[in-house]
Structure 1
C-alpha cells in the first residue's frame, strides 16, 4: 500500500494564521513545491466549519492568534466525529508550546521563523501518513461490505437449503447442544406423537409406547457421540397394532470455532399407517 507523489501534491491543505506575510510565504512555498489545493484563512473561528464541509488532508495551524488560539481550534476540530485521524501541523515560535500541542492532538509542529526545507519535509511526511490512513479506511470499508455481502449470501443459501430439505422430507428439525428442539418444520408431532423436547430424551415420560428400544438406544448413542447418520430406521407399533416406519437423517453442527452447537436433520415416514 503506497501513496504516489501526485496523490500527495493533490492533497487539500488549509493554512490558518493571523499574519498575512506568513500565509503568503507558505502559499508560495507550497505552490512552488507543486501542491495544487491550498487554501488559507486569517479567521480561526471559521476553521471547524470549513473542515466539516471540505475535510482537509492537512491543516497548518498557528497557535498564537487573537480571539481564538490554535489550542481552541484543535478542541473544536475534535468534535468532527467523521474525522478519526486529525492531521494538524502547528506553527509556533514558542518552544514550550510544542509538547502541549502534541498532547492536544497535533501530529507535528513547524518552528518559526520557518526553515523552508523543514517545512516541505514535515508537510510531505504528514500528508503521506494521512493519505495512507484514508486508503486503509477505504480498504476496511470495502472489506466490511464484502463480508456483509458474503454473510447475506450464506443466509440466503441456508434458507434455500432449509426450503429444499423441507420439500424433500416430511419434516426438518434442529436441536441445540443440550438436545432440545430449536426448530421443527412439518407434522413432527402428528408423525412421531412425542413432545418437541429431544429424540433421545429418556426423561420424557409423555413419549408413547411402541418405539423399538434397540433402535432408540442406537440413535441415542450416535447423537451422544456426535456422529452423522443417514436414513436411520425408526419403527413404532401403535396401540391399535398398526406399524409405522421412519427414516431419520442428521448431522452435528459446529460454529466457526469448531464448537459443537447441536444437530440438524430431516425425517421421512416411509410406511404409512395401515
Structure 2
C-alpha cells in the first residue's frame, strides 16, 4: 500500500514540484493545502501518513500548524520545507516535533531520503 502524503506550501509551483517527486517515487498525494490553517483541516480530514510543510505561509505558519497537527496526533510525521536557511526556524521546527527538514529548491533524492527516514 502506498503511503499517503499531504503537501502544504503557499506556492502552487512548489506543491507541484513535490507532488511530481512523490508520485514518480510511488507515493500517493492525498491532498494539498496552501496555508497552515488549511493544513490542519486537511490533516483531520485525510489522516495522511506524512506531511510536507512549508514554514513561511500566510494565515498560519508551518511551525504553528505543526504544533496544531501534533495536538491532533502526537505521532504525526511532518517534514518541514523552507527556502530560507534560517537556523532558528529549523531548530524551532525540530523542537516542535518535525521529523526532518528539506530546503528549497528541492532535490528529489533528498526529498525521498527524508520521507523514507520519517516513515521508517
Q: Under a length normalisation based on structure 2, what TM-score does the superposition of the two structures give?
A: 0.89
Matches within 5 A, 1:16-35: 16-35=8-27
RMSD of Structure 2 on Structure 1 (CA): 1.5
1:88 aligns with 2:78: yes
* Structure with more relative contact order (C-alpha pairs < 8 Å, separation 6 or more): 2
Q: Which aligned segments of 4 or more residues in structure 1 are displaced greater than 3 angstroms?
A: none
Q: 1:108 to 1:36 in 2, by over 3 A?
A: same
Give the SS at the match of 2:79: strand
Which structure 1 residue ranges, 5 or more long, are not aligned? 1-6, 129-274
Q: Say how many residue pairs are matched.
A: 118
Q: Under a length normalisation based on structure 1, what TM-score does the superposition of the two structures give?
A: 0.41
Q: Which of the two has greater helix per residue? A: 2
Q: Which structure has the bigger radius of gyration?
A: 1
